[in-house]
A and B are shown apart, each in its own frame.
Chain A
Amino acid sequence: MEPMLEVRDLNAFYGKSHVLRGVNMEIMPGEVIALLGRNGVGRSTTAKAIMGEVAPRGSIKFKGQEIAGLESYRIAHLGLGYVPENRDIFPTMTVRQNLVLGIKDMKTPGRWSIEQMLEMFPNLKARADNPAGVLSGGEKQMLTMCRTLMGDPDLIIIDEPTEGLAPKIVHQVGDTIAEIAKAGVAILLVEQKLSIALRIAARVYVMGHGEMVWSGTPDEFREREDVRREWLEV
C-alpha cells in the first residue's frame, strides 16, 4: 500500500534559525500516528510546514501529489485537515455556524452531517446556537476538531489538542480522537502527553533537534526507556 502522506527531507527556517533539519515520515491510510518530543524540537513546525503555514523545503506528498508550498485551501481540498494548536474558532459566530464553515462544498456531503456531529457531542449540541467564544477550553477543542471533520478529510493533523485542559477533559478529547480514527480518518497527533498518545496511536515518531530520532509501535516504545529518557523527559 502507498503511504497517504510521505514527507522526505523536510527543512524549515524561522529567519536564520534552521528549525526542521531533514524530517522524514510517512502515514498510511487510516493510520493514527503520534508525534512526540520536547517543547521546541519542531513538532508543531512540522505540522505547519506540511500545511504551508511555514515555508517548507523538501518533498511533501499527499495521496501521491506534491503539496509542498501549495496554497492552504488547495491542500484542504485534497483531503488534508488541520486543527492548529491555538484552537482558532470563530468566536462571534455560533457553534453551528462554525461547523457550517467547516464544510468545503455544500453539494458533496461528507461522512458526517452537522446534526450527526452535534448528536455525537452533546456538549456542543447544548450550545449549538451560542457564540463559540463562550465555550470552555475543552469544548473549543472539540469544536475545532468537529469543524475540520465537517470538511470530510482523509488525514487530519491535530496539534497539541490537550494543552491547558483539565485531566478529565484530556481523557474526553482522547476518546474523541479515537472515535475519529474509527471512522477511517488517518490522524497525525502532535502531543506531549504520553498517556493519550500511546493509547490511541498505532505508531510513534519521536523528534529531537528538528529531525526524527526514533519511530516504532507504542509497545516497542514502552520497552525503550533510553529513548524516553534521552528525548522526552524534561
Chain B
Amino acid sequence: METVVFSLLNGVIYGLLLFMLSSGLTLIFSMMGVLNFAHASFYMLGAYFAYTISSVSGFWLALIFAPILVGLVGAATERWGLRKVHANGHVAELLFTFGLAYLIDEVVKIIWGRNSVDYRVPELLDFPLFTLYGTQYPAYRIFILFVAVAMLVALWLLLKRTRAGLIIQAALTHPEMVGHLGHNVPRIFMTVFGVGCALAGLAGVIGGNYLVTDPAMAISIGPIVFVVVVVGGLGSLEGAFIASLLLGLLQTFAVSIDASFADIFGWLGLGETTEVGRITIASLAPMLPFLMLVLILMVRPRGLMGDRDI
C-alpha cells in the first residue's frame, strides 16, 4: 500500500513535469509541422538560468525570471532563425532544431562546465511535508505538483476561454485563413514558440533541483518527451496530458516493483541465477517509454488523441 501511494504521487509529479515539456512541444509541433529537437534544451536552459539567478537573488525570483528569459530566447530563435529556415521546408527546420540542440548543449558546457551544478531545492521548501506509513514526503514535490497544476489550469484557460487562445488554436490549424481575418500570424507563431519554450524553462526551474542539473539533462529527458507527444497524438494537448501521466506512472511503478523475472516465471523453471531470471522489473523502466512508442506506431499511428498521421 505504501509503495502504491508513493508511486502514485511520484508518478503524477513526474507526469506533470513531462506535461510541462510536452505541452509546449505539441503546440510548437502543430505550428511548424515538425518536432522541435531542441525543446528539451530549453528545459535545460531553464534549470541553468534558475541556478544562476537563484545564486544571486534567490529561488523565487528565479522561478519567475528564468522561464521568461527562456521564453525570450525561444521567441528570438523563432523570429530570427526558424522563420527564415521555414521557407526551405520541413527537413531544413528539423535539421535546424537538431543543430540548435547541440549548440545549446555546448554553450551550457562552456558557461557552466561539464559536471552537474549545485542547484538546490530552496530552504523554505526543504522539509518533509507529511509522514505516511513511517516515510517522510518532501514538501518540494508537492510544490512541483502545485506549480504544474497551476500552469495546466492557466494554459487551459488561456487556450479555451480567451479570444487570444481561440486565435492561437485557429492559427495552428488554419494559418492562412487566420491571416486573412486580420490576425498577425507570424507574431502568433513567435509567441507560441516563446511560450512553449518558457513552459519547458519552467519545467527546468522546478525539475532541475528535483532531479539533477547537468549538461546531459536535455538528452536524458528529450526522447521521453518525444514519446509522450507521439503516444498522445501529435498536436493534441489532451493527448499529451494523458500520455504524460501514463508514462510518469508507468515508469515510477516499474521502478518500485521489487521483483525479478525469476520471481514471476519461476513456476516455468526459470532459475534465479540465470541471466534472464536475474532481470528485475525495475531495470525495465527506462525501456518502457520506447516500447510504448514502437507499439503505438504499429497499432495506432495517430496516437491516443491525435487527428493526423505522422
Whether B174 lies near A88 (C-beta < 8 A) is yes
Q: Identify which of B166, B181, B184 contacts A147 (C-beta below 8 A).
A: B181
Q: What 0/1 pattern do residues 35 to 61 of B give for CB contact below 8 A with A?
A: 000000000000000000000000000
The distance in angstroms between the C-alpha atoms of A151 and B183, with both chains bound, is: 10
CB-CB under 8 A from A147, the residues of chain B are 181
Number of chain A residues whose Cβ lies closer than 8 Å to a Cβ of chain B: 25
Q: How far is the CB of A152 from chain B (nearest CB, A)?
A: 10
Q: Counting CB contacts under 8 A, is B167 at the interface?
A: yes
A102 and chain B: residue at smallest CB distance = B181
Q: Is B180 an interface residue (CB 8 A)?
A: yes
Distance A105 CA – B182 CA, assembled complex (angstroms): 9
Q: How many residues of B contact A (CB 8 A)?
A: 18
Provided the pairs A100-B166, A101-B166, A106-B163 are in contact, do residues A53 and B183 lie with their beta carbons within 8 angstroms? no
The main secondary structure of chain B at its interface with chain A is helix
Which residues of chain A come closer than 8 Å to B167, judged between CB atoms? 101
In the complex, how many angstroms separate the beta carbon of B279 from the nearest chain A beta carbon? 46
Closest to B173 in A: A90
A119 contacts chain B at the CB level, 8 A cutoff: no
A51 CB contacts on chain B under 8 angstroms: 180
Stretch in A70-78, A181-189, A194-202 with 4+ CB within 8 Å of B: A70-78
Binary contact track A55-83/B, C-beta < 8 Å → 1, others 0: 00000000000000001110111000110
Give chain B residues whose Cβ lies under 8 Å from the Cβ of A72.
176, 179-180, 185
From B163, B177, B179, B181, contact of A71 by CB (8 A):
B179
- Name the distance in Å between B161's Cβ and chain A's nearest Cβ: 11
CB within 8 Å of B: which A86-103 residues: 88, 90, 92-93, 97, 100-102
Q: A93 near B166 (CB under 8 angstroms)? A: yes
Contact of B166 among A73, A84, A97, A151 (CB under 8 A): A97
Contacts of A90 in B (CB 8 A): 169-170, 173-174, 177
CB of B176 within 8 A of CB of A101, answer no
Tell me, rounded to whole Å, the shortest Cβ–Cβ distance linking B260 to chain A. Answer: 48
Asked if A53 and B176 sit within 8 Å, CB to CB, the answer is yes
Is the C-beta of B178 less than 8 angstroms from some C-beta in chain A? yes
Q: Which 3 A/B pairs are nearest by Cβ-Cβ distance?
A: A76-B182, A104-B182, A72-B179
Q: What is the interface of chain A, defined by CB distance below 8 A to chain B?
A: 51, 53, 71-73, 75-77, 81-82, 84, 88, 90, 92-93, 97, 100-102, 104-106, 147-148, 151
Between-chain CB contacts (< 8 Å), 15 pairs: A51-B180, A71-B179, A72-B185, A77-B182, A84-B180, A88-B177, A90-B169, A90-B170, A90-B177, A101-B166, A101-B183, A104-B183, A105-B182, A106-B163, A151-B182
